[in-house]
């Protein structure tokens, strides 16, 4: 039962068989009640009824005191003038973190451009990984908003329903909270396709009495056959959710009459052995439909769902699904991750440390690896897709993959090396093509070759489904086939240039490379070649760059810094002494971009000379001691500072006040330092971020400027970029 008044909530709290700190909960209620005083929901109810309802949903999940308190407070920071600090002082760090997380998730727009959406989803996953209770509260919040969606205007109903369908229901599914997921989907589909739903409901209503009688008969017949199981198993019969039938009729295009599992019977027992016993009895009573039996007890779903599923045909010729599970499995199936609060003291609330939330961590990690935001958006869509297939290795290990995965995905899921060395695949002993889509129950054998020439094919990138496989294929090409990548990238780019009528200039390409944080034009070609940077992104950048250059030519009479970048590289190169080596190829590491005067060290690369890092660069610190690289670090020093200048970029965070830019410009110019470029923008928190590129003679001069800038009133921090 859902409560909307505090009296009802308190009564429920006292009634449940769990210890709650009622004083803390009342304190949270009082603060929320005062804060929301006078606010109304669209329904006309006082606003406080919403946080109370959310708290009561969480009480159903038996969540702890802090979660209930945070639920009562979840809209306080966003909708009233009470600062988070107050909540921290009064209720502690945990409650404050949850309120903050829920507030932040609420502010993330989900129906935005794809690449923005990827970033937004990342923010939500970050909040989840800090404390999984954050998303459990958010799901309860969304569930209540869905239940009360009727009071909202039509366009809001649609927007909220779409968000719920695309994002919150899949998250609930991934967390195993199937009741929440089903209810969300059922409500959402009614707003998204009211006519389609009406039709389904009409069909279901048509034989309601017959059906109810049918389910009752099945239940009692099963009960008669398992009287020896004590305590008596509970047997439930039900019609599946509107949305699950909707999907079959409209998405999979099945005639209503042919849907096998409109009816489902659930048998809940005490032990796993009893599950299999009941299965034997059911298969003895009714004829099982081939290939419809699924053992999710031996092979749980990734969200930990466990049950035996089988579809059988009764005497009446009507097929129905039977689900058999233990009480514990049943609770996990209903409450998912929240079941832990119901039956145990709780779990490690920090999702980053929990194996079961590996997928959150994996999505976040994959995002950091990808070079391109479009690839990230793509990865998230696949990773959040709820359907999985289960495929077996010849040894019987189970690999779970998203629907539509191919043998390539399977190979990479086993091991990166298996994927990279794959030359073919067999399913059930028969050779299949690389684009074969694996199905649940397939036994897949990957054929590999140890030949040095073995390696993935570029078109695998189009065939593979999972971001994991795609990422591994890309990184193979990145590492193994540089020459080929450069050639291919160049070809692809030139083709794309012709198509867009662009005549590229060398300095424009190097500017693009720099903006993509790539060291050279060749690196840019290579990145295009292995698919790390998308062509459309580069074309877009070039168009921007052309525009910018046009403007610059119109505006600035001098082109004083035109060739400075090239001079810069040349003179720095001249100025490096590498111990024991004469006249070798030197390049400056992109990660730390050393300047004359910086303490430096060289690293002997494979085939590209020596790359120079700052001694305190994080890559140096992390790799200095590694066995395989130890030998390759080499002493390097500056040959003595000459009179040429170098370009350095500093990143300034400051208050957003009038004349700030003027003051910073004066601080820099007073040292007679030319400013090459300056960009400023406002930050979300009201501060400003100014990025200045200057021409300096060396480290000493740069340090000087930075000290000066730091003294400008309102400047919060000054940092050199490229420094890690
Ligand atoms: Mn809310």
Quote the ligand 1 centre to 143 CA distance (angstroms): 10
What tokens were used for 131?
Answer: 């404390």
Residues with Cβ < 8 Å from 475, sequence gap 6 or more? 369, 530
Euclidean distance between CA atoms 14 and 22, whole angstroms: 9
Specify whether the CB–CB gap between 127 and 135 falls below 8 A: yes
Crossing angle, helix 22-35 and helix 65-72, to 10 degrees? Answer: 10
Question: Which three-class secondary structure state does DSSP give residue 503?
Answer: coil
Quote the ligand 1 centre to 343 CA distance (angstroms): 27
Residue 534 has a pLDDT of 77
Quote the ligand 1 centre to 148 CA distance (angstroms): 11
Quote the ligand 1 centre to 639 CA distance (angstroms): 64
Quote the ligand 1 centre to 667 CA distance (angstroms): 48
The residues pairing with 308 across neighbouring beta strands, listed in sequence order, are 295, 324
Quote the ligand 1 centre to 50 CA distance (angstroms): 7
Quote the ligand 1 centre to 603 CA distance (angstroms): 54
Quote the ligand 1 centre to 29 CA distance (angstroms): 14
CA torsion through residues 343, 344, 350, 356, sign: negative
Quote the ligand 1 centre to 48 CA distance (angstroms): 10
Question: Which three-class secondary structure state does DSSP give residue 89?
Answer: helix
Residue 257 DSSP code: G
Maximum C-alpha span of the chain: 97
User: Which of these is catalytic: 34, 78, 365, 462?
Assistant: 78
- What is the DSSP track for 364-419? HHHHHH-S-HHHHHHHHHHHH---EEEEE-TT--EEEEETT-BHHHHHHHH-HHHH
Quote the ligand 1 centre to 133 CA distance (angstroms): 15
Question: Which three-class secondary structure state does DSSP give residue 236?
Answer: strand
Quote the ligand 1 centre to 78 CA distance (angstroms): 9
What tokens were used for 545?
Answer: 């760059």
Q: What predicted TM-score, i.e. pTM, was given to this entire model? A: 0.55
Residues with Cβ < 8 Å from 195, sequence gap 6 or more? none
Residue 115 has a pLDDT of 52
Decide: residue 375, CB within 10 A, 0-12 exposed, 13-18 middle, 19+ buried. Answer: buried
How far is C-alpha 63 from the geometric centre of its chain's CA atoms? 25
Quote the ligand 1 centre to 409 CA distance (angstroms): 40
User: Which of these is catalytic: 21, 45, 60, 79?
Assistant: 79
Tell which residue, 548, 723, 167, 119, has the closest CA to residue 372.
119
Quote the ligand 1 centre to 569 CA distance (angstroms): 56
- What is the DSSP track for 290-359? TT--EETTTS--TT----EEEEEE-TTS-EEEEEEEEHHHHHHHHHGGGHHHHHSS---S-GGG-GGGHH
Quote the ligand 1 centre to 621 CA distance (angstroms): 46
Quote the ligand 1 centre to 578 CA distance (angstroms): 62
Quote the ligand 1 centre to 113 CA distance (angstroms): 24
The number of residues in the chain equals 724
Quote the ligand 1 centre to 195 CA distance (angstroms): 29
Q: Please, what are the averages of pLDDT over each run of 10 residues along the chain (724 residues)?
A: 86 85 94 91 91 93 90 89 90 91 77 59 70 88 94 88 84 83 92 86 80 87 89 86 82 70 87 92 88 82 83 81 92 76 52 52 56 50 60 77 89 90 88 88 86 82 87 83 82 80 71 76 82 78 72 49 40 63 68 79 72 82 73 76 69 86 83 80 84 82 87 88 51
Exposure of 110 in the CB half-sphere (CA atoms within 13 A):
16
Quote the ligand 1 centre to 5 CA distance (angstroms): 16
Question: What's the first-to-final CA gap in the chain, in angstroms?
Answer: 54
Phi, psi of 450 (to 5 degrees): -95, 5
Quote the ligand 1 centre to 51 CA distance (angstroms): 6
| Per-residue pLDDT tens digits for 147-183 | 999 988 888 898 899 888 878 888 888 778 888 999 9
Determine how many CB atoms are found less than 10 A away from the CB of residue 594. Answer: 25
Quote the ligand 1 centre to 313 CA distance (angstroms): 46
Euclidean distance between CA atoms 650 and 694, whole angstroms: 8
Measured CA distances, 406 to 192, 215, 291, 396 (Å)? 32, 40, 21, 18
Measured CA distances, 621 to 503, 601, 626, 696, 724 (Å)? 43, 11, 10, 27, 11
Quote the ligand 1 centre to 24 CA distance (angstroms): 20
Quote the ligand 1 centre to 385 CA distance (angstroms): 26
Quote the ligand 1 centre to 141 CA distance (angstroms): 5
Quote the ligand 1 centre to 305 CA distance (angstroms): 29
Residues at Cβ < 5 Å from ligand 1 ion: 75, 141
Residue 78 designated active-site: yes
């Amino acid at each position: 039962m859902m409560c909307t008044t505090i009296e009802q909530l308190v009564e429920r709290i006292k009634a449940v068989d769990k210890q709650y700190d009622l004083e803390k909960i009342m304190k949270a209620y009082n603060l929320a009640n005062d804060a929301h005083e006078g606010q109304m929901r669209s329904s006309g109810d006082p606003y406080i009824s919403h946080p109370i309802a959310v708290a009561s949903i969480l009480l159903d999940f038996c969540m702890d005191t802090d979660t209930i308190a945070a639920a009562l407070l979840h809209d306080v920071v966003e909708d009233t003038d009470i600062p988070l600090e107050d909540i921290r002082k009064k209720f502690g760090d945990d409650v404050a973190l949850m309120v903050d997380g829920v507030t932040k998730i609420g502010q993330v727009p989900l129906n935005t451009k794809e690449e923005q959406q990827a970033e937004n989803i990342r923010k939500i996953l970050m909040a989840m990984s800090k404390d999984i209770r954050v998303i459990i509260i958010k799901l309860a919040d969304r569930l209540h908003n869905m239940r009360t969606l009727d009071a909202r205007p039509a366009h809001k109903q649609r927007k909220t329903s779409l968000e719920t369908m695309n994002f919150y229901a899949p998250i609930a599914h991934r967390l195993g909270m199937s009741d929440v997921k089903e209810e969300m989907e059922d409500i959402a589909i009614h707003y998204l396709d009211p006519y389609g739903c009406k039709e389904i409901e009409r069909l279901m209503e048509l034989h309601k009495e017959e059906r109810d009688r049918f389910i009752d008969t099945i239940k009692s017949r099963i009960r008669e056959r398992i009287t020896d199981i004590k305590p008596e198993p509970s047997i439930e019969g039900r019609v599946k959710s509107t949305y699950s039938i909707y999907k079959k009729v409209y998405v999979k295009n099945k005639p209503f009459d042919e849907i096998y599992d409109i009816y489902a019977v659930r048998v809940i027992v005490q032990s796993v052995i009893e599950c299999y016993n009941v299965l034997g009895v059911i298969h003895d009573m009714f004829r099982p439909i081939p290939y419809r039996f699924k053992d999710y007890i031996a092979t749980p779903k990734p969200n930990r769902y466990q049950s035996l599923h089988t579809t059988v045909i009764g005497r009446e010729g009507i097929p129905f699904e039977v689900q058999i599970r233990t009480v514990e499995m049943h609770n996990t199936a209903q409450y998912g991750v929240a079941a832990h609060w119901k039956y145990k003291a709780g779990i490690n609330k920090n999702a980053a440390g929990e194996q079961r939330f590996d997928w959150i961590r994996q999505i976040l990690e994959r995002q950091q690896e990808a070079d391109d935001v479009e690839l990230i958006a793509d990865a998230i869509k696949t990773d959040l897709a709820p359907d999985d297939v289960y495929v077996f290795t010849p040894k019987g290990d189970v690999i779970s993959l998203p629907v539509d995965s191919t043998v390539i995905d399977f190979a990479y899921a086993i091991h990166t090396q298996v994927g990279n060395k794959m030359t073919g695949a067999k399913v059930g002993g028969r050779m299949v093509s690389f684009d074969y889509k694996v199905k649940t129950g397939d036994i897949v054998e990957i054929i590999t070759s140890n030949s040095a020439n073995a390696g993935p094919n570029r078109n695998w990138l189009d065939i593979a489904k999972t971001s994991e496989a795609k990422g591994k294929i890309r990184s193979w090409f990145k590492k193994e086939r540089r020459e080929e990548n450069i050639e291919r990238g160049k070809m692809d780019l030139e083709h794309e240039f012709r198509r867009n009528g662009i005549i590229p200039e060398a300095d424009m390409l190097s500017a693009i490379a720099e903006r993509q944080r790539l060291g050279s034009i060749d690196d840019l070609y290579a990145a295009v070649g292995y698919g790390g940077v998308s062509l459309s992104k580069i074309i877009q950048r070039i168009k921007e760059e052309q525009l910018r250059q046009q403007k610059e030519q119109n505006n600035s009479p001098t082109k004083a810094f035109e060739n400075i970048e090239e001079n810069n590289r040349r003179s720095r190169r001249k100025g490096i002494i590498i111990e024991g080596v004469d006249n070798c190829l030197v390049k400056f590491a992109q990660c730390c971009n050393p300047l004359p005067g910086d303490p430096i060290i060289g690293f002997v690369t494979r085939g590209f000379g020596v790359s120079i890092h700052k001694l305190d660069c994080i890559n140096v610190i992390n790799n200095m001691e590694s066995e395989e690289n130890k030998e390759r670090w080499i002493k390097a020093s500056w040959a003595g500072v000459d009179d040429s200048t170098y370009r350095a970029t500093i990143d300034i965070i400051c208050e957003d006040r009038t004349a700030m830019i003027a003051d910073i410009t004066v601080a820099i110019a007073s040292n007679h330092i030319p400013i090459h470029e300056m960009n400023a923008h406002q930050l979300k928190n009201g501060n400003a971020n100014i990025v200045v590129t200057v021409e300096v003679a060396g480290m000493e001069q740069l340090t000087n400027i930075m000290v000066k800038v730091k003294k400008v009133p309102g400047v919060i921090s000054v940092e050199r970029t490229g420094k890690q």
